């Protein structure tokens, strides 16, 4: 891998600095070695002088193997490992081509996410860098239960420990009910305080954190009180919940595409009234509550929840719900890196960080729809153009 100097029409570096015209980013051995304004001599040039260049996108909440638009997400998770791996290979290639260079996986069966992460790292398949959870911890009668459930403090500990032994980066626990499972209530807690505490303790003790699927109600409050690092979805969080999240520095991870994109839940389960009633309700609630969450100043980042390739949609939705374009770009980059605790490595274009960047035809700060036109993706200094050709 040779050094390359990238001429950027406009550079948005994710640090909070104003965009810079005609900047030059130099990369070598997968890392950024310089950010300046002149092309260094003797270095291969990559001319993106007509494009908007920004850090690669960080999808903070996804699932590799499932496609919500095909319906019955839990049924998809119950397939064998080979169909899961094949589907994930296709899904992750698409995510990368659309600009996602890092993705946090929030629960898979058969530990396929371990093999996917390692396969991508080894160059066997193409996809975003993965942070993985292994199996999501779900109660027997809870949302997110696929092949296994974990009930009682000891069982939750065992599940967390097995995930961590196999190499999970974080622990995922499904605390409240969900939208895509017919029998669960998004505000009811499936877990007791003690069970949630066990998951948090096991994660904390090995230097990582627990992430809680929680829409709202007592389950969300318990998860925040017991010290999870991120609240996933969180659309029903009330003012007191949000105040506590701010106090405890808990991140809110928004996932709008799964509810709002036509290829989300609606695409697959649009004919199931028990799910669609909850969906319509969730859409209304998100539109009502998110502007209030935004005004509170709670820290947030975003994810697609397995609507593969939909980070541009997620960012456009943020803007539609009142986020400034600059903050939408930060939510999809640096803030995501902070929420996932990897900001030392990715999330901004600064010397020493991984050479993860994307080039866009157009200016998303003027029109967020430009995010639909990602024309080059670089991950670890290797470029991918979305054509399926070999990377270089
Ligand atoms: Zn999810």
Nearest to 190 by CA among 160, 227, 228, 151: 151
Ligand 1 center–CA 191 separation, angstroms: 17
CA dihedral 188, 193, 194, 196 (to 10 degrees): 70
What's the pLDDT tens digit per position in 287-345?
899 999 999 999 999 999 999 999 999 999 999 999 999 999 999 999 999 999 999 99
The CA 295 to ligand 1 mean position distance, Å, reads: 25
Are the C-beta atoms of residues 234 and 187 closer than 8 Å to each other? no
The pTM is what?
A: 0.96
What is the per-residue DSSP string for 33-55? EEEESSPPTTSEEEEEEEEEEEE
90 membership: H or E segment, kind and range: helix 81-97
Cα 326 to ligand 1 centroid, rounded to whole Å: 26
Tell how far the Cα of 4 is from the centroid of ligand 1, in angstroms.
37
Cα–ligand 1 centroid distance for 315 (angstroms): 18
Query: Residue 4 and residue 36: Cα distance in Å, rounded?
Result: 13
Bigger pLDDT: 280 or 247?
A: 247
Strands 374-379 and 171-174: what pairing? unpaired
Measuring CA to CA, which residue among 346, 136, 141, 352 is closest to residue 232? 136
**Which residues, listed in sequence order, are joined to residue 48 by a DSSP beta bridge?**
8
> From the CA of 360, how far away is ligand 1's center (Å)?
28
Distance 336 CA to ligand 1 centre (A): 16
User: Mean per-residue pLDDT for 51-62?
Assistant: 98
Nearest alpha carbon to residue 303 among 12, 64, 14, 17: 64
Q: Is residue 79 pLDDT above 60, yes or no?
A: yes
- Distance from the CA of 105 to the center of ligand 1, in angstroms? 8
Helices (H) and strands (E) in the chain, counts: 13, 15
Q: Are 31 and 224 in contact (CB under 8 A)?
A: no
From ligand 1's centre to the CA of 306, what distance in Å?
A: 7
Statement: residue 177 has pLDDT above 90: no
Question: If pLDDT is split at 50, 70 and 90, which confidence band does 153 have?
Answer: very high
CA distance 324 to 326: 5
Cα–ligand 1 centroid distance for 66 (angstroms): 10
- C-alpha of residue 381 to centroid of ligand 1, in Å: 29
Q: What are the tens digits of pLDDT across the range 220-258?
A: 999 999 999 999 999 999 999 999 999 999 999 999 998
For Cα atoms 4, 328, 308, give the angle at the middle one, nearest 5 degrees: 75
**Partners of 47 in the beta sheet?**
7
Ligand 1 centroid to residue 61 C-alpha, Å: 6
């Amino acid at each position: 891998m040779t050094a390359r100097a990238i001429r950027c029409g406009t550079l948005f570096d994710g640090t909070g600095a104003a965009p810079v015209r005609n900047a030059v980013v130099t990369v070598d051995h997968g890392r950024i070695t310089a950010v300046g304004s002149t092309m260094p001599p003797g270095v291969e040039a990559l001319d993106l002088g007509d494009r908007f260049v920004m850090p690669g996108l960080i999808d903070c909440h996804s699932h590799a193997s499932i496609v919500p638009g095909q319906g019955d997400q839990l049924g998809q998770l119950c397939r064998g490992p080979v169909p899961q791996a094949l589907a994930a290979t296709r899904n992750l290639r698409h995510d990368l081509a659309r600009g996602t260079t890092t993705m946090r996986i929030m629960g898979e069966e058969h530990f396929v996410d371990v093999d996917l992460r390692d396969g991508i790292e080894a160059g066997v398949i193409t996809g975003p860098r993965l942070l993985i959870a292994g199996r999501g911890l779900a109660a027997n009668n809870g949302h997110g239960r696929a092949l296994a459930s974990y009930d009682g403090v000891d069982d939750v500990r065992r599940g967390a420990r097995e995930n961590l032994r196999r190499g999970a980066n974080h622990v995922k626990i499904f605390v409240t009910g969900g939208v895509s499972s017919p029998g669960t209530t998004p505000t009811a807690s499936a877990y007791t305080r003690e069970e949630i505490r066990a998951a948090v303790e096991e994660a904390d003790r090995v230097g990582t954190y627990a992430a809680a699927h929680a829409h709202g109600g007592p389950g969300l409050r318990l998860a925040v009180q017991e010290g999870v690092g991120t609240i996933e979805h969180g659309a029903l969080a009330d003012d007191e919940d949000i105040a506590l999240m701010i106090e405890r520095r808990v991140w809110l991870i928004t996932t709008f595409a799964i509810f709002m994109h036509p290829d989300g839940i609606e695409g697959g389960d649009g004919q199931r009234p028990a799910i669609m009633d909850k969906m319509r309700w969730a859409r209304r609630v998100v539109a009502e509550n998110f502007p209030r969450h935004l005004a509170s100043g709670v820290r947030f980042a975003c994810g697609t929840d397995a609507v593969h390739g939909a980070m541009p949609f997620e960012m456009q939705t943020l803007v539609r719900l009142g986020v400034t374009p600059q903050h939408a770009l930060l939510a999809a980059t640096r803030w995501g890196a902070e929420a996932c605790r990897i900001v030392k490595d990715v999330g901004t274009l600064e010397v020493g960080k991984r050479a993860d960047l994307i080039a866009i035809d157009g200016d998303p700060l003027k029109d967020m729809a430009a995010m639909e036109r990602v024309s080059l993706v670089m991950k670890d200094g290797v470029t991918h153009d979305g054509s399926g050709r070999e990377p270089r």
